[in-house]
Homo-oligomer: A and B are copies of this chain.
């Protein structure tokens, strides 16, 4: 998503091969994740020559939480640190009172950081999407 955001400024398509290469992730695996993002309406895809993937909405309106939820589900946001079936105030686990603040911090960060925030730093060369040497 971040790589596409750096490419989708005008709405160009980006091919699977190029995306996988850019983030140093296996093609077939990357394809599955992209399929998921398409299914969830975050990304549009077109087949055929010059086909590829493209972020559907303005990157300033897509928050990281939405992407994480699409790929990994919601356990990161609502799961119990000690693995209890569910995290509640009624029956809190032994670390709930300490953990909740951290989890909320993470959730808050993901809900307030949008793709543009993040991709801008990649575009300006301040941060990266893969290891420098590309030898991973």
Contacts and interface: CB of A to CB of B under 8 A. Distances in A.
A107 B86 CA distance: 23
Query: How many identical chains are in the complex?
Result: 2
A92 B131 contact: no
Given A94-B118, A105-B105, A130 B99 contact: no
A97 interface: yes
Instruction: Give the contact-size bracket for chain A.
Output: 20 to 34
A90 to B, nearest CB: 9
A54 B130 CA distance: 45
A93 B128 contact: yes
Interface string A105-130: 11001000100011101100011111
Nearest to A130: B84
A102 interface: yes
Interface of A: 2, 64, 82, 84-85, 91-99, 101-102, 105-106, 109, 113, 117-119, 121-122, 126-132, 136
